Chains A and B, each alone.
Chain A
Amino acid sequence: MRTLLRFIVRYQFVLIFLLLEGVSIWLLASNNFYQRAAFGNITRGISGNIYRRIESATKYLRLNDANEHLLRENIVLRSRLAQLTVHLEEYSHLAVDTSYDKGFIFVPARIISNSVDKQHNYLMINVGRKHGVAEEMGVVSSDGVVGIVTAVSENYATVISLLNIDLKISARVKKNRYFGSLYWNGKDYRQVVLSEIPNHVLLTKGDTVVTSGFSSMFPADLLLGTVREVDKSLGNFLNVTIDLAEDFRKVDHVWVVKKYN
């Protein structure tokens, strides 16, 4: 203890300098947007690298689940393909119109870090600027929306998770097309809240909720979840609890949604 005190007294000048300089840099990084972004880029590069190594070591453990999931998805896609080929015949004689919405392209990615237990959850994915990913692009998995890209570096991107109380996305009820905004209330990672649905709309347990397609981040009619509970006590608008289709603890393979242009 005495040696520690002597050390502090002896080097007080340097210690005070380091302390105050630390406070300054912290102020700088938390208050100035440009420096914060630059700071984030450096740390993202380092942490991304570490997470990728851990991920490549542990991904074998989930291989079984992933396989099964892909198989199921394959079956669904095949049946959609079969349905569509029937229609293709009918449409092939129509003239080509180039002004229609060309839709979206998907960039496949893997999640290398994820959390569900905070109020502000973020994910990191292993694609970055090099792969054509930019800020404000949506991220989806085969079971629904995952989040929105908030920051990009060369090889990695940070995604604000749907399980982040700051994120709101536009969603609608599939059967009657009423739309509202969907957000997480920070309580249960399997449930989100759909708000701004007018009071007179009739909803029952099990109704499907999908993306509205109003933003250019997500395609329309992407599955989000099913209605669990309807709360009418809030006045003009319903407060609907939604069971998420996506299990954020398990999500692994995702796609970054790019607007085609």
Chain B
Amino acid sequence: MAKDLLKLLLILIALVFIQVFILNGMKINGYINPYVYVLFILILPFETPGWVLLVCAFILGLVIDSFMNTLGMHSSATLFMAFSRQFLLKIISFRNDNDSKGFLTLGNFGFVWTLRYVAILVFAHHFFLFFLESFSFSSFFPTMGRIILSSVFTIFFILLAQYMFARK
């Protein structure tokens, strides 16, 4: 248990570092920005209590926000994602009960399940985030384009990271 916590803490620090210092600087094609830090909320174990999940999401979002000077934006989007996660996990079925333990990663759950799970939540997060950023529906389709392209990159990076971890 303590070992798991330490591991999570290290993952958290690494993710924030990668997000703030590497990914935020790379801006593919001008305005596509992958937000890989949400990986932390995605892999938290199934049996994590709801309030821990929400508080983690809020704090993670605030940390990212304070680095990017967008106080409130990432925290509300990450919260929304954590909120959706709880309901999504009730809908997406597990193969058997033994699987519903441990981190929700590619290594534990297989590619198809993980792709579906990651894709839906990343899209929810980006949808919330980008519309909060533009704060209007008047430029709906350009914003939608940014959401989809950034989501694709985020999902790709998240699966890549998980693949590398799973091999170890």
A interface residues with partner B (beta carbon < 8 Å): 12-13, 16-17, 20-21, 23-29, 31-32, 34-35, 38-39
- Chain B residues with Cβ under 8 A from A13's Cβ? 50-51, 54, 83, 86
Instruction: Say whether, besides A13-B50, A13-B51, A17-B83, A27 and B135 are in contact (CB < 8 Å).
Output: no
Do the beta carbons of A32 and B51 come within 8 Å of each other?
no
- Chain B residues with Cβ under 8 A from A34's Cβ? 135
**Chain B: which residue is nearest A22 at the CB level?**
B76
Do the beta carbons of A31 and B72 come within 8 Å of each other?
yes
15 residue pairs of the A-B complex, CB under 8 angstroms, read A13-B86, A16-B54, A16-B55, A17-B82, A20-B58, A21-B80, A24-B61, A24-B73, A24-B76, A27-B72, A27-B75, A29-B72, A32-B73, A38-B135, A39-B135
Do the beta carbons of A32 and B54 come within 8 Å of each other?
no
Q: How far is the CA of A77 from the CA of B55 in the complex (A)?
A: 67
- Chain B residues 40 to 60 lying within 8 A of chain A, measured CB to CB, are 50-51, 54-55, 57-58
Distance in Å: Cβ of A30 to nearest Cβ of chain B: 8
Distance in Å: Cβ of B74 to nearest Cβ of chain A: 9
Which of A16, A21, A26, A28 is in CB contact (< 8 Å) with B51?
A16
- Chain A residues with Cβ under 8 A from B75's Cβ? 20, 24, 27
- Chain A residues with Cβ under 8 A from B132's Cβ? 28, 35
**Chain A: which residue is nearest B53 at the CB level?**
A13
Which of B50, B55, B71 is in CB contact (< 8 Å) with A27?
B71
Q: How far is the CA of A24 from the CA of B66 in the complex (A)?
A: 12
Which of A12, A21, A35, A39 is in CB contact (< 8 Å) with B50?
A12
- Chain B residues with Cβ under 8 A from A12's Cβ? 50-51
Which of A17, A26, A32, A38 is in CB contact (< 8 Å) with B79?
A17
Distance in Å: Cβ of A13 to nearest Cβ of chain B: 4
**Chain A: which residue is nearest B58 at the CB level?**
A20
- Chain B residues with Cβ under 8 A from A20's Cβ? 54-55, 57-58, 75, 79
Query: Could you tell me how many residues of chain B have their Cβ less than 8 Å away from some Cβ of chain A?
Result: 22
Do the beta carbons of A25 and B50 come within 8 Å of each other?
no
Instruction: Say whether, besides A13-B86, A17-B54, A17-B83, A31 and B71 are in contact (CB < 8 Å).
Output: yes
Distance in Å: Cβ of B151 to nearest Cβ of chain A: 21
Q: Does B108 contact A (CB under 8 A)?
A: no
Q: How far is the CA of A231 from the CA of B136 in the complex (A)?
A: 52
Distance in Å: Cβ of A18 to nearest Cβ of chain B: 9
Instruction: Say whether, besides A21-B80, A25-B76, A38-B135, A32 and B50 are in contact (CB < 8 Å).
Output: no
- Chain B residues with Cβ under 8 A from A27's Cβ? 65, 71-72, 75
Distance in Å: Cβ of A109 to nearest Cβ of chain B: 27
- Chain A residues with Cβ under 8 A from B136's Cβ? 38
Q: Does B24 contact A (CB under 8 A)?
A: no
- Chain B residues with Cβ under 8 A from A23's Cβ? 58
**Chain A: which residue is nearest B51 at the CB level?**
A16
Q: How far is the CA of A41 from the CA of B70 in the complex (A)?
A: 20
- Chain B residues 78 to 118 lying within 8 A of chain A, measured CB to CB, are 79-80, 82-83, 86
- Chain A residues with Cβ under 8 A from B83's Cβ? 13, 17, 21
Distance in Å: Cβ of B67 to nearest Cβ of chain A: 14
Distance in Å: Cβ of B32 to nearest Cβ of chain A: 20
Do the beta carbons of B76 and A28 come within 8 Å of each other?
yes
A sample of 8 more A-B contacts (CB under 8 A), given A16-B54, A32-B73, is A13-B83, A20-B54, A24-B75, A24-B76, A25-B76, A28-B70, A28-B132, A32-B72
**Chain B: which residue is nearest A19 at the CB level?**
B54
- Chain B residues with Cβ under 8 A from A17's Cβ? 54, 79, 82-83
